[in-house]
Amino acid sequence: MGWKKDDEADRKFWTDMRGSQIDVLNEDLFLFGSIQRSMESGELPKILLSYQERQIYWYHEEMDRRIGAENIPAHLRVEQVLAEQAE
């Protein structure tokens, strides 16, 4: 990930980006247990994704598209749901 250059500004950008991503991941990990329990109990029938989560989901869809669904075991495929919503 990153540009095709390797200078101090680029390295600083990606170091800062990594720190930011770790912060977001830690927030998500803190919430996952309670969200999973709510979904399993039926109290939370579905989750609406925020813009940032849609970006992550789209990225996973795109990886599956590039690999080719036929090359991915069915239980590991990401359901392609965002393509119809793209502008």
**Is the Cβ–Cβ distance between 18 and 2 less than 8 Å?**
no
Question: In whole numbers, what is the pLDDT of the chain averaged over residues?
Answer: 86
> Rounded to whole angstroms, how far apart are CA atoms 70 and 40?
30
| pLDDT band (50, 70, 90) for residue 5 | confident
Do 8 and 36 lie in one domain? The reply is yes
Do 20 and 59 lie in one domain? The reply is no
> Rounded to whole angstroms, how far apart are CA atoms 52 and 50?
6
Give the predicted TM-score (pTM) of the model: 0.50
| pLDDT band (50, 70, 90) for residue 85 | confident
Instruction: Look at residues 76, 38, 74 and name the one whose alpha carbon lies nearest to residue 60.
Output: 76
Do 39 and 54 lie in one domain? The reply is no
Domain hosting residue 60, numbered range = 48-87
| pLDDT band (50, 70, 90) for residue 68 | very high
Distances from the Cα of 86 to the Cα of 30, 63, 71, 83, angstroms: 30, 16, 24, 5
Do 33 and 5 lie in one domain? The reply is yes
Do 81 and 67 lie in one domain? The reply is yes
Do 54 and 30 lie in one domain? The reply is no
Do 36 and 73 lie in one domain? The reply is no
